[in-house]
Amino acid sequence: MAKLYFKFGAMDSSKTANALMTRFNYMEKGKKVWLIKPATDNRDGTTILKSRIGLQAEADVIAATDSIIERCPEGIDVIICDECQFLTPEQVDDLRVIVSEKHIPVLCFGLRADFQTHLFPGSRRLFELADSITEIKSICRCGAKATVNARFDEKGYVCVDGDQVVIGGNDVYEGVCWSCWHDMVVNHKSRYE
């Protein structure tokens, strides 16, 4: 039975590596994989999915105005979506319909929340609709479980406001525990008081 899967984690939890390893496993079994990513994720090039450990593959790019149902190729066995937090809620609805009506499993990998600990719209909808929700765990610099995606400015200070989406990797973000993030926010605010 096909399911909609949401596999989420903080920055540095190897979400993209997991997506690409899953793709490899399906392809090794002779399955046709449709690898997709939202157009918002242009960090490694428009059509490239690249993990920090060096795995990479070409992916179809989904624009915010695209219907995934209309873009879905015939004859595929599975859909794997990386950076799913950038999907629109309507696109997540499309994935749910594909699972239910076409009986194609969909595996979504992405962030749960932004640098201010607010859910991304795509992630929120996946929490509402997914059949299976799994956390991909990583650790904070202190050794605790990382749950927050801390964003840093060019001087290395934690950001407390700004646009929800700023594309970046280890140069901009770090997965940290809530306590370390809270301490950084308090320290940031004290600089301006």
Catalytic residue positions, numbered = 83
Tokens of 171: 């140069």
Distances (CA, A) of 90 to 35, 64, 84, 131: 19, 9, 12, 17
Short-list 168, 123, 176, 174, CA closest to 147:
176
Residue with the two structure tokens 């596999």: 7
Helix (H, G, I), strand (E, B) or coil at 61: strand
